[in-house]
């Protein structure tokens, strides 16, 4: 999305220093385009949970309390939504969808780099 001109920010826990530093090395700027998860959720209007189902369960309370009216919420994995009784990830009263790639993760990245696609399901 950033490559297409969208204003993109990312949230990353500072507790995972290696991941934070990797984001900085990839060109994300702390305080401008790189924030802790809470601040990124508060600033974003389209919030994408691009983490594993286990991570969704762990960070959901922080995300949920920082969503604003009119925000859109997207999930890259859907088990935490389906198994909401076990995960606590309850659908808020807002636009919410999940993008479900139909393929192996590393192949999706490779196909993207070649401007090719990967079959995907969009569920709302």
b or e along 53-89 (b: 16 or more beta carbons within 10 Å of the residue's beta carbon)? beebbebbebbeebbeeebebbbbbbbbbeeeeebeb
**Is there a catalytic annotation at residue 77?**
yes
| Cα dihedral across residues 80, 48, 114, 25: positive or negative | negative
Give whole-number Cα distances, 75 to 15, 60, 85, in Å: 22, 11, 17
CA distance linking residue 82 with residue 84, whole number of Å: 6
- Tell me which of 11, 34, 49, 77 is the catalytic residue: 77
Question: Using an 8 Å Cβ cutoff, are 102 and 121 in contact?
Answer: yes
Q: Looking at the annotation, which residues are catalytic?
A: 77
């Amino acid at each position: 999305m950033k490559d297409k001109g969208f204003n993109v920010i990312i949230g990353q826990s500072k507790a995972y220093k290696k991941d934070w530093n990797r984001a900085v090395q990839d060109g994300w700027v702390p305080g401008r385009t790189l924030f802790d998860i809470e601040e990124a959720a508060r600033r974003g209007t389209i919030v994408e949970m691009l983490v594993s189902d286990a991570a969704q369960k762990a960070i959901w309370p922080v995300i949920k309390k920082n969503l604003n009216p009119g925000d859109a919420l997207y999930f890259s994995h859907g088990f935490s939504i389906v198994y909401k009784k076990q995960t606590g990830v309850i659908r808020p009263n807002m636009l919410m969808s999940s993008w479900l790639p139909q393929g192996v993760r590393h192949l999706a990245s490779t196909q993207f780099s070649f401007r090719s696609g990967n079959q995907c399901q969009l569920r709302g």
